[in-house]
């Protein structure tokens, strides 16, 4: 017969965020250092593994639950199952309602190609930054990295370019720096 031609939406991943970048992101958003965050994430990983190994279900409020699933050979009688035949299969993560509802209204757009982990063009990155500031009042380097899927270096470079153009001003210093839209008078003074 004819093949079913039902189409399904699939997310095109823009990039991979690794522990070091996630730790820097968290550090930028709070008073913990990047090293503190890395240490905490490492401790969390070890304690998760320890408790899962002993049959616990781990619930991280607002995030979800972790549990372990097992596997064994297909058998027909319960008495035939021996402990040595039962093995770890995988860690199961069940997303919390809070996290799920936070993602419910994520903005999506059609990708022209199915390629993955591509750098967003400069003009689009700048537009994303300006739109974010217009909606939320300000943006940090970490948020810049998040919305544009880029490195800290590229986010800082984009923000500097927008400052040089007189479209954005820096508010605060170092790790507390935020960037806001330049007021009309400031732009006219530069021009």
CA–CA separation, 66 and 180 (whole Å): 39
Q: Would you place residue 5 in the very low, low, confident or very high pLDDT band (cuts 50, 70, 90)?
A: confident
Q: Which CATH architecture describes the domain 122-190?
A: Orthogonal Bundle (1.10)
Distances (CA, A) of 49 to 57, 116, 135, 171: 11, 31, 40, 42
Question: What pLDDT is stored for residue 189 in this prediction?
Answer: 53
Encoded tokens for 68: 């372990």
Instruction: Please tell me the predicted confidence (pLDDT) of residue 65.
Output: 96
**Taking Cα atoms as reference points, which of 158, 93, 150, 97 lies closest to residue 119?**
150
Q: Do 122-190 and 19-103 fall under one CATH topology?
A: no
| Residue 148, pLDDT score | 85
How confident is residue 168, by pLDDT bands cut at 50, 70 and 90?
A: very high
Domain 19-103 has CATH 3.20.20.60: no
Please, what is the Cα angle at 22 between 137 and 140, to 5 degrees? 20
Q: pLDDT band for 163, please (50, 70, 90 cuts).
A: very high
| Cα angle for residues 186, 189, 191 (degrees, 5° grid) | 110
Convert the pLDDT of each residue in 55-103 to its tens digit.
Answer: 999 999 999 999 999 988 887 888 877 888 888 999 999 999 999 998 8
Please report how many Cα atoms fall inside a 13 Å half-sphere around the Cα of residue 139, on the Cβ side: 29
pLDDT value at residue 62: 92
Sole residue written with tokens 């732009």:
187
- Region 16-33: mean pLDDT is 84
136-159: per-residue pLDDT in tens? 889 988 888 888 878 788 888 999
């Amino acid at each position: 017969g004819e093949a079913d031609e039902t189409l399904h939406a699939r997310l095109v991943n823009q990039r991979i965020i690794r522990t070091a970048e996630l730790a820097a992101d968290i550090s930028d958003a709070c008073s913990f250092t990047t090293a503190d965050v890395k240490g905490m994430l490492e401790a969390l990983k070890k304690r998760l593994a320890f408790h899962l190994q002993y049959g616990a279900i781990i619930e991280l409020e607002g995030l979800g639950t972790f549990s372990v699933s097992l596997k064994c050979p297909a058998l027909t009688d319960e008495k035939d199952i021996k402990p040595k035949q039962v093995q770890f299969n995988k860690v199961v993560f069940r997303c919390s309602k809070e996290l799920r509802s936070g993602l419910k209204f994520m903005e999506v757009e059609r990708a022209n190609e199915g390629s993955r982990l591509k750098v967003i063009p400069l003009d689009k990155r700048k537009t994303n930054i300006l739109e974010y500031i217009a909606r939320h009042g300000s943006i940090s380097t970490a948020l810049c990295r998040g919305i544009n899927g880029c490195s800290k270096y590229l986010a800082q470079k984009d923000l500097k370019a927008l400052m040089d153009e007189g479209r954005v001003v820096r508010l605060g210093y170092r790790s507390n720096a935020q960037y806001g839209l330049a007021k009309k008078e400031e732009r006219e003074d530069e021009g």
